[in-house]
C-alpha cells in the first residue's frame, strides 16, 4: 500500500501536468525567449527570495514543507523521468497537429507540462538547499552540495535561456563581416567585425572501398591509399596502390591523372585489383568541385571507389575588430575564441568545395549566464567525487533483517 505522502505528491504532479496541458491548449508552446535581461535576472532573484521565504514560513505553515519533503522529491523526479521517456520516444518534429502535437510532446522542451514539472522539481531542490545551508552539517554536506549544484544549473537554464544570442556568420576570405543569422534566419548584428584571413583543412588519407553499384553500400574493409605500395584484401580482391597523388587532375583527352598543385585538385590513385589470376588496373579518384570522380570497374561488376576524404581538422585564422582594437585568433572545433561575453565557434565550411572552401561558418554565441552554469557543473563534478568517496557511508553496527 502506497503511503499517503506519495499519493499526495503524485497527485500534485498530476495536477501540474493537467495545468500544463490546459496552458498548452490555451497559449501554445512556452515562448523560447520569454525573459530577457534584466528581467530574467530580476525574476531569478525574486524566485530565489521566494524559496527562502517559503523555507522561513514553513515553521508557521507546515504544509509548505510538502514542497521539499522526500515524497515530493521522489514524485517530481519520477514524473520528470516519465516525461523524459516520452520525450525520447516521440519524434521532436515541432508539429502542432494531432494529439501528441496538441499536448506539446512533439516539442517537449517547450511544453508547459514538462517545464512546470521541472520547475516543481527545481523548487523542491531549491528549498532543500536553503534548509541544508541553514543547518549545515557534516553528514548532509555532500547531498547539500550536489543539490546546490543541480539547482544552480537548472536556475541558469530556466531563467537564462532567453538571454542567449546565437548568430551564424558565413565569413569569406578577406571580406569583413559583422552580421550573422539566428536559427530562424533573422539577421543579428554583432558588436564586432570578423575578418577571415585564412581557412585550412587537414584531411585523413584517401580510402579505397569495393562497392556494389546496385546496392551502393561501401565495403566495411578498405585500403588506405596513403602511399604507393599499400596493399589490402577487400571483399575478395587484393588491392594495391601503384601510384598516388595528394593533389592531381585529369586533363581533357588524357586517360591518367597527373600531379597538379592548384585550386580544385583532387586526390587520385592508380590501383591494381587482382583475384585468382585475373587483374584489373586503373585510376580511382574522389574528384572535387572541379573534377569528376573516377572508379575502377572490376570483372564481377563491382567498383573500386574512393569516397571524399574526411576532415581531420579545420581551422579559421580570424581577426576580430572592435572599437577598442583588434585581436587575431585561430578558431577550430573544440577551440572557440573568446571576446568579452561572446564565444566564437568553428561550425562548418563549404562542403561542396571541401579543402578548397573559401568560406568558413562561424557560430557567435553570447551567453551571459555562462559563469553560473559552468560553476554549477564544476560543483556537480566536485560533489560527484565527494559522493563517490563517501558512498560507503557509516557501516551499520550489526547486521539485521529488514
Partner 1 sequence: MSWSLFVWFAAAAALCWVVGSVLAFVSKKTWPAASASLLGTVAMLVFIVGMWVTLKRPPMRTMGETRLWYSFFLSLIGVVIYLSWRYKWILSFSTMMSVVFLAVNLFKPEIHNRPLMPALQSPWFVPHVIVYMFAYALLGAVTLYAVYLWIHSSRLAGRHRAEPTLEEMKRCDVLVRVGWSFLTFGMVMGALWAKEAWGDWWSWDPKETWAFATWLGYLGYLHLRQRRQDPRTAFAVLVVCFLLLQMCWYGVNYLPSARGISVHTY
Instruction: Enumerate residues 6+ apart whose C-beta is below 8 A from 280.
Output: 272, 273, 274, 296, 297, 298, 299
In whole angstroms, the minimum distance from the beta carbon of 284 to partner 1 comes to: 19
User: Is 15 near partner 1 (CB under 8 A)?
Assistant: no
Does 166 sit near partner 1 (CB under 8 A)? Answer: yes
Nearer of residues 31 and 256 to partner 1, judged by Cβ? 31
Grid cell at residue 204:
585523413
- Residues 180-219 contacting partner 1, CB under 8 A: 204
CB 207 within 8 A of CB 307: yes
Q: Give the nearer residue to partner 1 in terms of CB position, either 283 or 367.
A: 367
Residues 378-397 interacting with partner 1 (rule: CB under 8 A)? 378, 380-381, 384-385, 387-388, 391-393, 396
102 scored as a contact of partner 1 (CB under 8 A): no
- 356: its cell numbers: 578548397
Output the smallest distance, CB 140 to partner 1, in A.
Answer: 12
To partner 1, the closest distance from the beta carbon of 392 in angstroms equals 6
User: Distance (Å, rounded) from C-alpha 69 to C-alpha 222?
Assistant: 60
Helix (H, G, I), strand (E, B) or coil at 341: coil
* 87 binds partner 1, rule: CB under 8 A: yes
Q: How far apart are CA 168 and CA 171, in angstroms?
A: 9
- In whole angstroms, how close is the CB of 160 to partner 1 at the nearest point? 10
User: Is the distance from CB of 125 to CB of 146 less than 8 angstroms?
Assistant: no
Q: Which is nearer to partner 1, 96 or 280 (CB)?
A: 96
Burial of residue 237 (CB within 10 Å: 0-12, 13-18, 19+) is buried
Helix (H) or strand (E) holding 348: strand 342-349
Residues in contact with partner 1 by the rule CB under 8 A: 3, 70-71, 73-74, 77-78, 80-81, 84-85, 87-92, 108-109, 157, 166, 204, 220, 222, 310-314, 332-336, 343, 345-346, 363, 365, 367, 370, 373-374, 377-378, 380-381, 384-385, 387-388, 391-393, 396, 399-402
Amino acid at each position: 500500500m502506497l503511503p499517503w505522502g506519495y499519493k499526495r505528491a503524485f497527485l500534485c504532479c498530476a495536477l501540474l501536468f493537467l495545468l500544463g496541458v490546459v496552458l498548452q491548449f490555451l497559449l501554445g508552446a512556452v515562448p523560447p525567449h520569454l525573459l530577457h535581461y534584466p528581467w530574467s535576472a530580476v525574476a531569478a532573484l525574486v524566485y530565489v527570495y521566494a524559496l527562502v521565504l517559503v523555507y522561513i514560513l514553513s515553521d508557521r505553515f507546515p504544509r509548505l514543507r510538502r514542497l521539499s519533503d522526500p515524497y515530493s522529491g521522489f514524485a517530481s523526479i519520477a514524473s520528470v523521468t516519465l516525461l523524459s521517456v516520452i520525450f525520447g520516444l516521440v519524434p521532436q518534429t515541432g508539429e502542432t497537429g494531432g494529439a501528441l502535437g496538441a499536448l506539446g510532446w512533439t516539442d517537449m522542451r517547450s511544453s508547459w507540462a514538462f517545464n512546470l514539472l521541472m520547475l516543481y522539481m527545481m523548487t523542491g531542490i531549491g528549498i532543500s538547499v536553503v534548509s541544508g545551508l541553514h543547518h549545515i552539517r557534516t553528514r548532509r554536506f555532500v547531498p547539500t552540495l550536489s543539490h546546490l549544484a543541480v539547482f544552480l544549473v537548472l536556475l541558469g537554464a530556466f531563467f537564462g535561456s532567453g538571454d542567449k544570442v546565437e548568430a551564424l556568420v558565413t565569413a569569406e576570405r578577406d571580406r569583413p563581416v559583422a552580421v550573422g543569422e539566428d536559427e530562424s534566419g533573422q539577421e543579428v548584428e554583432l558588436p564586432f567585425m570578423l575578418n577571415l584571413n585564412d581557412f585550412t583543412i587537414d584531411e585523413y588519407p584517401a580510402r579505397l572501398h569495393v562497392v556494389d553499384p546496385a546496392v551502393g553500400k561501401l565495403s566495411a574493409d578498405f585500403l588506405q591509399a596513403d602511399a604507393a605500395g599499400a596493399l589490402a584484401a577487400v571483399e575478395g580482391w587484393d588491392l594495391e596502390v601503384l601510384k598516388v597523388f595528394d593533389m592531381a587532375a585529369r586533363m581533357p583527352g588524357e586517360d591518367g591523372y597527373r600531379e597538379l598543385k592548384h585550386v580544385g585538385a583532387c586526390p587520385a590513385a592508380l590501383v591494381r585489383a587482382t583475384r585468382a589470376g585475373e587483374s584489373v588496373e586503373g585510376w580511382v579518384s574522389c574528384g572535387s568541385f572541379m573534377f569528376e570522380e573516377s572508379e575502377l570497374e572490376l570483372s564481377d561488376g563491382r567498383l573500386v571507389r574512393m569516397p571524399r576524404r574526411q576532415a581531420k581538422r579545420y581551422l579559421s585564422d580570424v581577426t576580430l575588430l572592435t572599437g577598442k582594437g583588434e585581436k587575431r585568433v585561430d578558431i577550430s572545433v573544440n577551440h572557440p575564441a573568446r571576446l568579452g561575453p561572446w564565444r566564437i565557434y568553428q561550425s562548418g565550411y563549404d562542403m561542396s568545395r571541401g579543402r578548397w572552401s573559401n568560406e568558413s561558418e562561424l557560430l557567435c554565441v553570447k551567453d551571459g549566464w555562462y559563469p553560473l552554469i559552468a560553476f554549477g557543473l564544476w560543483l556537480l563534478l566536485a560533489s560527484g567525487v565527494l559522493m563517490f568517496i563517501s558512498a560507503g557511508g557509516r557501516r551499520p553496527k550489526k547486521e539485521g533483517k529488514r
